[in-house]
Structure 1
């Protein structure tokens, strides 16, 4: 029963970020993840790319044409 109280719905997010290399920003890349909200998505991106610059975050529904 407690499982249902603590389970949260995850949504698909895309976080756009730039990595820093030799004090220069690299081209922007997109990091996709399942997160509770936009802040959670940014936290996941920061964990995956330490020291990156987070540019923006977007809730993203996967379209069938993108997976083909």
Structure 2
């Protein structure tokens, strides 16, 4: 099993329920290199862990594809 060495955090606006979390998790999870995703509609936080650096624009585009807006916070 690979070890996630990189972590990036985003603030997602517009999520309100578990379905929102599933939508974001599904789109971001399709990106190459993503190993773990933690997303919370209650806090609006998205944490993505990967073995290598991810393209921030690709993550933001994936969140947009799910129907939400995001900005990187960490």
TM-score bracket, shorter-length normalisation:
0.3 to 0.5
Bigger relative contact order (CA 8 A; separation at least 6) = 2
Bigger radius of gyration: 1
Q: Specify which structure has the higher proportion of strand.
A: 1
